[in-house]
Structure 1
Amino acid sequence: MKKLEIRNKHLALRKSWSQEEWQLRNEQLHQLVVSYLDSLPKGTTVLSFQSIVEKREVATQAIHETIVNPPYEFQLAFPRVEGEGKMSAYLVHEKSTWISSAWGIMEPDPATSEKIEPMEIHVVLVPLIGFDLQGHRVGFGKGFYDRFLSQCNPDCLKIGLSLEGPVQQIDDLHALDIPLDVVISSERLYTIH
């Protein structure tokens, strides 16, 4: 399938879910994510994202609240779009404030957060609309994550979060698409080889 077909199909599917089904999928995903992250050492730096729950995206707030507290005690960073097509990462803490982007995504305020280099990040939780079993993802088509992931340490763990299962194959890949290492859906974990 082509990315546009996958995007349209999955966005329509999300709209068809009841509030209860969407919540259940998020609860199941939360359990699988924190279980998977349990093996990582304290102090791991994780880049995550603020979801737009009105669009039925993966609800990341519960994951964030879990992984910054014991026993995890991870450092949590979030993306901020700065300039044409460039995404930066900012470590946040309890006094960090947030600014709404042009897309309605909450981003860290640079005045109250610490900018870090992509090479300092150990794990990236990647938003997606769809994925295939080869680790390729369908996002919203802007390429921010692929450009950012290309700057990360090769050992950085790239984890996609999905409320749906995979498609067989994404047909229209771009040369700059960065495959994921793992995708965690609400039903199971997919390790990409």
Structure 2
Amino acid sequence: MHDSDLGQRLEAILRLAPLRLTSLEIVRSLALPDWAIGAGFIRAAVWDELSGFTAATAVDDIDVLYFDPENRDSEHDAALEKRLREIEPALPWSVRNQARMHVRNGDAPYGSTADALRFWLDTPTCVAVRLDAQDRLEILAPYGLEDLFSMSIRPTPRGRTRKSTYTARIAEKKWHQRWPNVTVELP
């Protein structure tokens, strides 16, 4: 399948998941620059659908990403999390300005939210979406959507250079226990 077909499939999955669509609407209301929601929020929805699960897998957090080089203060992220909890307290919000995350990760500065995704460790996690003002989904997927839809966990170039961190992440997440069809490539 081509990424455009997979993109349409991803959109259909997310539109049928009320919690995910509501989460996107809530974050959109904050009008953050270059924002998206990614990682497990997307991955779990797709893998649940592919696995035929009728109940959604709970996510540890909802990774809200944005890129604002003018306001890199971590307290701003905390204030945004607080606002999100005020809007929807039952959801596990996690907000990170990608304009500052390169420091924590020991990378060169990122140029955008999509650029920051390239430095995450595994390919099916490097997917994020945002909802525009016309309710269209925009997909950010620097490594494409094929690994996400084939349930294949592969290291990104960054995951290959950080082998021990990548393998520790795979061991910690235990994705294969929840989704038995997942395959893992080790660097």
Which one has the bigger helix percentage?
2
Give 1 or 2: higher strand fraction: 1
Question: Is TM (by shorter chain) over 0.5?
Answer: no
TM-score for both structures, normalised by structure 2: 0.31
| TM-score, length basis structure 1 | 0.30
